[in-house]
Amino acid sequence: MSTLRRLLAACLVVLALAGATMARAQTPVERHGQLRVEGNRILGADGRPAVLRGMSLFWSQWKGGFYNADAVRWLAEDWRVDVIRVAVAVEPGGYLAHPEREWRKAERAIEAAIGAGLYVIVDWHAHNPHPEAAAAFFERVAQRWGDRPNLMYETWNEPLPDHGWAEVVKPYHEAVIPRIRRHDPDNLVVAGVPSWTQDVDVAARDPLAFANVAYALHFYAGTHRQELRDKAQAALDAGAALFVSEWGTTNADGDGPVDVEESRRWWDFMAANQLSDLNWSINDKDESSAALRPGASRRGGWREGDLTESGRLVRARLRTLAR
């Protein structure tokens, strides 16, 4: 090979490496930009489906120590998440009782996610309706960060089975979402549905009349199986966009064995339908759905021995899909 050819080959290698480095250096928000709902898909600014994967933080009133920039940065860099979920606990002992305390925790996590170039779901983590408190909270969030494409709003985590869609849940969202839209007309709203956010087929038949709304879907692999996937498929077939804002590898109570095979069936379903998802959760509670073992650092830097079986499984998936 001539000297000129060697030089050209070397230049091509350098350019390829530089391009790969630049691609890896892109943050999720730089990669996808402003999200929007079109039909039953969530698209990025380039018009292609934006599939985000990440981790949910735990109830803020109990595990607020993980709501810090170091933990969020570790999730971005080591776990390679695209999105985190800030689970602002409403009750018991949460935002209703201590609004400024819980606001400060949420603020730290939101600012950290924005600083890391991640998307962030701000989740009103409640089972019972508190529409005026939720509306005031989300209006405050939208006023503060609504100009950032990073933000998403999960307006009600998990309505209970006796909270009917038409009677309770849909009117709740119709009261809360306009308060967000006063200040943020663009960012995605993720709306919870009855039965611990599983009745997406019911919501799809009577959808909310707002732009850029997706419906939350929650599942736990040890409890929720093909029947719930069928409900999700029915919702998608009816034209609803879905966002899996909470899922677990275990039983629905957060404990029990890690169900690897059923988790993989859910992963296949989500991949086939280009659904974004966040695993529950980053915390060190002594239960099998927790990603961390008791006593793990609140500030990231977790090694293999700090992770539970679920944590190892989920981290490996996130890192594999991020390649």
What integer best gives the mean pLDDT of the chain?
A: 94
Claim to verify: residue 13 and residue 48 sit in the same structural domain? no
pLDDT > 90 in the chain, percent: 92
What range defines the domain where residue 214 resides? 33-321
181 contact partners, CB below 8 Å, separation of at least 6: 142, 210
Do 106 and 245 belong together in one domain?
A: yes
Q: Give CA–CA dist 290/258, Å, rounded.
A: 11
Beta strands at 41-43 and 36-38: parallel, antiparallel or unpaired: antiparallel
Residue with tokens 């309770």: 168
| pLDDT-above-70 percentage for the chain | 93
Per-residue pLDDT band at 4 (split at 50, 70, 90): very low
Asked if 24 and 139 sit in the same domain, the reply is: no
Same domain, 90 and 186: yes
Same domain membership, residue 167 and residue 22: no
43 and 12 share a domain? no
Asked if residues 28 and 119 have their Cβ atoms less than 8 Å apart, the reply is yes
> In which residue are the tokens 């201590």 written?
98
- Which sequence positions are flagged as catalytic? 158, 246
Residues 254, 143 share a domain: yes
What average pLDDT score do residues 41-68 get? 98
Q: 183 and 143 in contact (C-beta within 8 Å)?
A: yes
pLDDT for residue 21: 40
User: What is the total count of domains within the chain?
Assistant: 2
Picking from 44, 114, 116, 57, the residue whose alpha carbon sits closest to that of residue 84 is 57
CB 142 within 8 A of CB 180: yes
Are 112 and 12 part of one and the same domain?
no
**Biggest alpha carbon–alpha carbon distance for the chain:** 78
Q: Both 2 and 65 in a single domain?
A: no
Q: What pLDDT is recorded for position 106?
A: 98
Same-domain status, 10 and 39: no
Query: Does residue 146 sit in the same domain as residue 228?
Result: yes
| Domain containing residue 263: CATH number | 3.20.20.80
Structure token pair of residue 215: 């419906």
pLDDT of residue 323: 80
Give the DSSP H or E segment for 261.
helix 260-272
DSSP state letters, 72-116: HHHIIIII--SEEEEEEE-TTTSTTT-HHHHHHHHHHHHHHHHHT
Residue 108 sits in the same domain as residue 25? no
pLDDT for position 193:
98
Over residues 181-204, mean pLDDT? 98
